[in-house]
Amino acid sequence: MAAVPGTEPQGATRAPLRWKEGEAMTGGATGHAVSIGDLRELARRRLPRVIYGVLEGASEDERLLALTYERLRAWSLVPRRLRDVSVRTQATELFGRTWSSCFGIAPTGTIGVLRRDIEFHLADAARQANIPIGVSGASARTHEAIAEHAPGQVWSQLYAATDPAITRNLVERAEAFGAGALLWTVDLNIAAKNDRLIRAGFGVPPRLSLGAKVEALRHPGWLLEYLRGGMARLDQWAQYAPADADPMAVHRFYLSQRNACQSWRELELLRKLWKGPLIVKGILHADDAVRAAELGADGVVVSNHGGFGLDHGPAPIDMLPGVVSAAGEKTVVMYEGGILRGSDIVLARCLGARFCFVGRATLYGASAGGATGALRAIDILKDEIDRTIGHLGCPDARDLGPGYVRAPA
């Protein structure tokens, strides 16, 4: 994971001491994980280096990914004393449903290489934890199939396609299976340049070096699963590709439909097509949040797509207060970016985010231990949120606000 030179993201290096021999390979040690950093280490041990790069990589020099972590830690939380925190809650009402906490699972694409049916594992964990799960428009399994694992909890992510008929059908499918919200993603119309994966030969098609293939033999748990199931296909897009398309051809078709010409006109169209909560994901500029609200968006997600896209961009946590101020109370502002601790979620709430999404944190757990590992990641974050609001003297997470935070010097 990219980091400030000489440092690692908070909680990323400490490993549990109770792992038994072989547990790291199978993911059986996730129950011993104390932090998201422990789950990260388990995922690293299970995955071949090139596949782990899919999880950890970002654009170009990965400067933005490092900055995202650095700026989260630059803000301070300021506790208030002598307040009764004997009973605490982090339950959050959002779009007519009460969730057990103030965060959900972020949509992340092309993750089928990390673990077979990983989206099912994530959905199973979301169902058990009663949190929403965003499902990527580039999912290995269809949104309909994933929704069977977490009925009423799937938020469908959408990349508007070059072919408007496909966009319309994707929206119709989301409505048919009962998606809780539509997440229109606007910050990655042009494919990111991931130097790490390019050097490794991980592309479409992959051209892995002999060294990468030999290194994969050191990860038999992942390798056996891959040999049994083969390459994951983007099932969400398979019905639009030619009938005889293999997984690689489906992926190429999907890439051909990535629309670099998206504009505000698409938001107007989506608002007419979709009657449920409509969220614009990938907003960093306050003016864009205002424009999204004017055209009918119910919410926005302040995000830099996990460090993908513009590597010389700003950290989303620094842009959050301005977006909150501009968007107004009627627009639900959410946050995503660099969350590895429950205190990160509390900080975003103090800066005005109504809800947060975590990406890599739950992917570490699911990569290492399937649904059990993903649920462990969720439980760790919930426990840390509970402890943080207790330390702050704010027993109800809904009452968090700017009075509990100090800006960087």
- Where are any strands of DSSP class E within 138-180? 154-158
Mark whether 305 is an active-site residue. yes
Q: How many CB atoms lie within 10 A of CB 71?
A: 18
Which among 402, 269, 353 is positioned nearest to 94, based on CA atoms? 353
- As a dihedral over the C-alpha atoms of residue 321, residue 324, residue 155, residue 141, rounded to 10 degrees, the angle is -30
Helices (H) and strands (E) in the chain, counts: 17, 12
Residue 260 and residue 189 in contact, taking contact as beta carbons nearer than 8 Å: yes
Alpha-carbon gap, residue 186 to 31, rounded angstroms = 37
Q: Give the residue from 385, 407, 383 showing the smallest Cα distance to 396.
A: 385
3-state secondary structure of 87: coil
Catalytic residue among 285, 305, 312, 391: 305
Both tokens of 138, joined, read: 């580039």
Q: From residue 227, give the alpha-carbon distance in Å to each of 113, 115, 230.
A: 12, 12, 5
Other CB atoms within a 10 A radius of the CB of residue 113 amount to 21
Rounded distance, CA 58 to CA 245, Å? 29
Omega before 9 cis (within 30°)?
no
CA nearest to 350, candidates 392, 309, 307: 392
CB-side exposure of 335: number of CA atoms within 13 Å?
A: 29
Question: Hey, which residues are catalytic here?
Answer: 305
